[in-house]
């Protein structure tokens, strides 16, 4: 905190103002330091940061990532709603929407929450920003972490999408749902998609996620 505090306050030791990008990075760093160690104190610190950010795009981006990391896998409805509202209220900002979407996924990691799934799918279909669609597709994958066969319905929906970005997320849904399992069916599916999909991004994601399946 001694190192980060000047950036939170927006002024260095010499009294000179610091860049909002540095403040954003400090909030992201705070999230990494406290990742998966949720307390009311850490979440309140970041929530108050929203109020002090004056709506700055970069700072809100850093806060959203930090809050997602702090509340990782807590399934905390209030934090999820805060991040969702941050995304909805900044529909014209790909920067803010992207970070808020990733934060939503981090909070709900492994939850397979149907309400969150539906909201993410709807917003991804409505959004005009590739960054937000990609973040939501990865967050959908996060929801299915460790769920194996329970994730198959969502996986099929994603990999059959006409949107290459949603198919890209579908590769991560396979990788996260079956992480470390060496599941033969999932391995074959990724190998097949790595050859057959028309998008190089999807092919790349398929091969990356072979690593998640086989990391043990």
SS3 128: coil
* Burial (CB count <10 Å: 0-12, 13-18, 19+), residue 89: middle
pTM metric for this prediction = 0.94
For the chain, 216 residues long, give each residue's pLDDT as a single digit of tens. 889 999 998 776 666 788 999 999 999 999 999 998 999 999 999 999 998 888 899 999 999 999 999 999 999 999 999 999 999 998 889 999 999 999 999 999 999 999 999 999 999 999 999 999 999 999 999 999 999 999 999 999 999 999 999 999 999 999 999 999 999 999 999 999 999 999 999 999 999 999 999 998
CATH architecture assignment, domain 34-213:
Alpha Horseshoe (1.25)
- 159 close to 196: Cβ distance less than 8 angstroms: no
């Amino acid at each position: 905190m001694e190192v980060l505090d000047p950036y939170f306050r927006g002024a260095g030791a010499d009294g000179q103002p610091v860049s909002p990008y540095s403040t954003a990075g400090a909030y992201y760093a705070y999230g990494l330091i406290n990742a998966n160690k949720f307390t009311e104190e850490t979440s309140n610190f970041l929530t108050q940061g929203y109020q002090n950010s004056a709506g700055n795009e970069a700072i809100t981006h850093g806060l959203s990532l930090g809050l997602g990391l702090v509340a990782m896998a807590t399934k905390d409805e209030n934090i999820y709603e805060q991040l969702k509202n941050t995304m909805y209220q900044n529909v014209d900002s790909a920067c803010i929407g992207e970070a808020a979407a990733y934060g939503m996924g981090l909070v709900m990691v492994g939850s397979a929450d149907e309400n969150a799934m539906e909201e993410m799918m709807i917003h991804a279909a409505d959004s005009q920003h590739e960054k937000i669609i990609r973040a939501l597709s990865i967050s959908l994958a996060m929801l299915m972490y460790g769920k194996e066969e329970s994730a198959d319905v969502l996986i099929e929906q994603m990999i059959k999408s006409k949107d290459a970005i949603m198919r890209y997320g579908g590769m991560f849904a396979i990788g996260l749902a079956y992480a470390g399992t060496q599941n033969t069916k999932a391995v074959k599916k990724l190998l097949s998609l790595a050859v057959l999909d028309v998008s190089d991004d999807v092919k790349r994601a398929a091969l990356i996620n072979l690593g998640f399946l086989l990391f043990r």
